[in-house]
Amino acid sequence: MDKLVTARNVSKRFGDLRAVDGVSFEIEKGRIMGLIGPNGAGKTTLLKAILGLTDCDGELSVMGLDPFRQRRELMQNICFIADVAVLPRWIRVSQLLDFVGSVHPTFSRDKAEQMLARTKVAERRDAKVRELSKGMVAQLHLSIIAAIDAKLLVLDEPTLGLDIVFRKEFYANLLTDYFDEERTILVTTHQVEEIENIMTDVMFINEGRIILNRTMDSLSDDYVELLTSGERADKARNMGPIAERDVFGKKVMLFESVDRQSLSELGELHTPSVADLFVAKVKGVSA
């Protein structure tokens, strides 16, 4: 079973609002899927459905389980960090490790200790979570999650509010300590650029719908950015860019499935950043 998550026509309504509106997608084993969308796009709702925290319409299967109805089985093989601040503030570091160890069948205390040993949390084993800095709490949470032998890790804005050093470190640790071809990660973040280099797949969601879903490798095949100016810009504009913006008096145009040969005669070609592509796609939808 290589398909870890399968969604067919999944919807979730809150009254008249369609938070998730008939989405279909698959996530394969061993991938790092970035789920990117503006605030209120339905990211968190979709993740909650995958984690079995909320019910939804349509067909949703996670590791062959119905996440909402088979939550306990699901939680044996899935981990999530919903927010940086959710570790209970009253608990001591050592108590937290004890507790997870006693309720989680696949938690490895040794592995968690090894990871913690490399952080400042190591010296503060008897400290309560409320006495740790936000960055240390995130390190602690990641150490616990990474020490659980789970098939799917779901991260919802895991680095929100952390400073840049911790954010970099968080993703570096994630790759070295957690990820391998047997494991799969689904991650959402506002800071697209910080996961751009680690994700293998990307999915854009806007107003409850998926507007892009593909592998990072194929992005550069289909999307290209042209840096041009003057007359050549007018010619390029006739080729139907999906977005255009000004940079230092020059025009940057983004094209989808275009003949690169003829485009290359009009200026410099670049692979667009995921952030630029995202902005172009979201604007394109709402325009």
- Which residue ranges make up the site for another protein (CB under 8 A)? 48, 51, 53-55, 71-73, 75-76, 79-83, 85-92, 95, 99-100, 102-105, 141
Measured from the CB atom, is 89 or 190 closer to another protein?
A: 89
On the CB side of 92, CA atoms within 13 Å amount to: 8
Measured from the CB atom, is 150 or 233 closer to another protein?
A: 150
Nearest to 146 by CA among 138, 135, 157: 138
Measured from the CB atom, is 55 or 222 closer to another protein?
A: 55
Pairing of strands 250-256, 152-156: unpaired
Measured from the CB atom, is 8 or 89 closer to another protein?
A: 89
Nearest approach, Cβ of residue 80 and another protein (Å): 5
Looking at the chain, how many residues does it have? 287
How close are the terminal C-alpha atoms of the chain, in Å?
A: 40
Instruction: Say if residues 51 and 6 touch (Cβ distance below 8 Å).
Output: no
Instruction: Tell me the CA distances in angstroms from 56 to 16, 207, 240, one per residue in order.
Output: 15, 16, 38
Measured from the CB atom, is 23 or 263 closer to another protein?
A: 23
Pairing of strands 184-188, 152-156: parallel
CA dihedral 235, 237, 241, 245 (to 10 degrees): 120
